[in-house]
Amino acid sequence: MRFEKDWGRLGLKLSDWKKVKLSELGTIVGGGTPSTKKEEYYGGDIPWITPKDLANFGERYIEHGSRNITLAGLENSSAKILPVGSILFSSRAPIGYIAIASNNVSTNQGFKSIIPNSDVDSLFLYYLLKFNKDKIENMGSGTTFKEVSASIMKSIEVFIPTEIVEQRKISAILGAIDDKIENNKKINHHLVA
């Protein structure tokens, strides 16, 4: 099969892949919104990200959104601290905005983020979710707007290399391509400016 030969040229072995549920790759975490009626919950030093922050965000890594929350806001809502390397995946309005946390962040309830297990490469998981975005979106439900629940997110099956070394090889290849795309966008932006 040509596909297997192509992967083989890259030093990757398709025979070492396995089918797993997303819940086997890490902890799936929802977010929350502190009460907007309490000023003391906002303006702190905890980055708080909403799907709107990712709407026109064309990069892989994110360190903050347009607003921050305070420790009191975090403690009095269902928002949680997500560590570096967590994959932020918007689960509603719309489904499929995605980024990797470059520092500790929190999100609103519009996310089902994944804190990867130690044997899962964050960048690989980012690309895996991007690749499966349409599949995940099609599993959403709702009348006003579609949403993917935590239970659905946990049950989604994907194929991954069993070894993190293989995951890193793939993410390095895809990352190098994205780096070139991002550099070309910067060059084009400077030419227009």
Could you read off the pLDDT of 90-141 as tens digits, one per residue? 999 899 999 999 999 999 999 999 999 999 999 999 999 999 999 999 999 9
For 153-182, b/e burial (b = at least 16 CB within 10 A) is bbebebebbeebebbebbbeebbeebeeee
Residue 3 lies in a domain: no
Instruction: Give how many domains the chain has, as a whole number.
Output: 1
pLDDT tens column, 150-165: 999 999 999 999 999 9
Closest Cα partner for 22 from 137, 170, 155?
A: 155
Residue 2 lies in a domain: no
- Dihedral, 135, 173, 169, 125 alpha carbons, nearest 10: -30
- Domain containing 95 equals 8-192
pLDDT tens column, 72-85: 999 999 999 999 99
Residue 167 lies in a domain: yes
Angle at 60 between CA 41 and CA 185, to 5 degrees: 120
Split at pLDDT 50, 70, 90, the class of 186 is: confident
Residues 89, 113: Cα–Cα separation, whole Å: 5
Name the more confident of 147 and 13.
147
In this predicted structure, the answer to whether residue 1 has a pLDDT above a threshold of 50 is no
Residue 123 lies in a domain: yes
Classified as helix, coil or strand, 92 is strand
pLDDT tens column, 6-49: 556 666 666 689 999 999 999 999 999 999 999 999 999 999 99
Residues 7, 31: Cα–Cα separation, whole Å: 37
Residue 113 lies in a domain: yes
CATH number for the domain that contains residue 89: 3.90.220.20
